Amino acid sequence: MKKISLIAATVALGFSVESFARDQIKIVGSSTVYPFATVVAERFGKTSGFKTPVIESTGSGGGLKLFCKGLGTEHPDITNASRRIKMKEVKKCSKNGVTDITEIKVGFDGIAMANAKAGPALELTLKDIYLALAKVVPADPEGNTVKPNPYKMWNEVNPNLPAAPIVVVGPPPTSGTRDAFNELAIERGCKKFPGRKALKKKDKKLYKKECRGVREDGPYVEAGENDNLIIEKLVADPGALGVFGYSFLDQNRDKVKAAKVDGVFPEFEAISSGKYPVSRSLFFYVKNAHASVIPGVKEYVKEFTASKAIGNNGYLVPKGLIPLPENERAKFEKDGKTLAKFDSSVLKKK
């Protein structure tokens, strides 16, 4: 009976029985979630009897693009994301037959702005970050009109900041870190101007374009999906700031130091409590149809969602993961066992 069910599932997915040769989980997605997923995958491969999953760091946007291309052995089973899936991505998945997915939240992360240890200690506000990095900035005190960003020096943004060129090295648009940074830092800084905040009610499309758009005239430098490259650039240029997740900051404290944002350092307690303003949730998404066919998918999900991995004393916490509250984690542990269908209606409430 199990054999018949397996063949039926492979046919339903568009596999032939002959092509059902993949016995290794394929995972893509977020560079921020990548180190956590790698630790889980390595443990899973050593203890479960299944092969160690293959994981590729493509960025959240790149991973979801691959994930949503369709069902079948040529497509990934799981994608990691350092932001929640977007409605347009849910629709893309659905268009390609990926209609039944599970969303798993694994913890929190803070997005740090940091520079080399030899660089100056910095205290930034969300308003500073917006004025330094936005494509357009207010042309009047209230922010009723805008102009192309003219600022080249930090002290032009805020006289309390150094008289040094604005150089910020960060991830590309395909990155979940970039998405979250645009929303949590730049957009929130934009809202400090009453005219910009009021625009949201009048024209949401224009508001997003003007309050999340990152300048392309030099001060923001894209470094790809490789956070190690950002660290190298910061060490080489102590005047530059880098943008990356807390876990990566924690791993490189011998080379870099964090800036305060609105008076708060990106530290464990500040991120878990929400006090640090640039904090976000971390996720991964599973194709439920693949979980019925690809060996080990359900077991991998169970490993990742177990308290021994993401609980308060889990083995991912020393790696930099900020754990969920216990009641929320227990919910995802349960969902991880059952692979519940994702309710995309939650995205419409945003």
pLDDT at 8: 39
Mean pLDDT over the full length of the chain: 89
pLDDT at 303: 94
> Helices (DSSP H) in 153-305: which residue ranges?
154-157, 176-181, 187-190, 194-202, 204-212, 227-236, 246-251, 268-273, 288-291, 297-305
pLDDT at 62: 93
**H or E element: which one contains 242?**
strand 241-245
pLDDT at 19: 46
* Bridge pairing between strands 136-138 and 146-148: antiparallel
* Bridge pairing between strands 220-222 and 168-170: parallel
pLDDT at 226 over 90: no
Q: Can you give the C-alpha Rg of the chain in angstroms?
A: 21
* CA separation for the pair 65, 59 (Å, rounded): 10
SS3 of 151, please? coil
pLDDT in tens, 110-163: 999 999 999 999 999 999 999 999 999 999 999 999 999 999 999 999 999 999
Mean pLDDT of 209-213: 93
Domain boundaries for CATH 3.40.190.10 within the chain = 2-109+282-348, 110-279
Query: What are the helix and strand counts (H, E) for the chain?
Result: 18, 13
Q: Which CATH class is domain 2-109+282-348?
A: alpha beta
pLDDT at 320: 86
- What is the number of other CB atoms lying within 10 angstroms of the CB of residue 307? 14
Q: Read off the pLDDT band of 332 (50, 70, 90).
A: low
Mean pLDDT of 24-43: 95
pLDDT at 242: 95
Domain 110-279 falls under CATH 1.10.1060.10: no
* CA separation for the pair 117, 256 (Å, rounded): 5
Q: Mark 208-231 as b/e (b = at least 16 C-beta within 10 Å).
A: bebbbbbbeeebbeebebebeebb
pLDDT at 177 over 90: no
pLDDT at 225: 74
CB neighbour list of residue 350: distance below 8 Å, 6 or more residues apart: none
pLDDT at 5 over 50: no
Q: Are 85 and 103 in contact (CB under 8 A)?
A: yes
Q: Read off the pLDDT band of 4 (50, 70, 90).
A: very low
pLDDT at 338 over 80: no
pLDDT in tens, 285-296: 999 999 989 999
SS3 of 281, please? strand
pLDDT at 54 over 60: yes
**H or E element: which one contains 282?**
strand 279-287
In eight-state DSSP terms, residue 187 is H
pLDDT at 43 over 90: yes
pLDDT at 340 over 90: no
Percent with pLDDT over 90 in the chain: 74
Environment class of 69 (CB within 10 Å of its CB; exposed 0-12, middle 13-18, buried 19+): middle
Distance set, CA 311 to CA 53, 243, 282, 304, 305 (Å)? 22, 27, 14, 10, 8
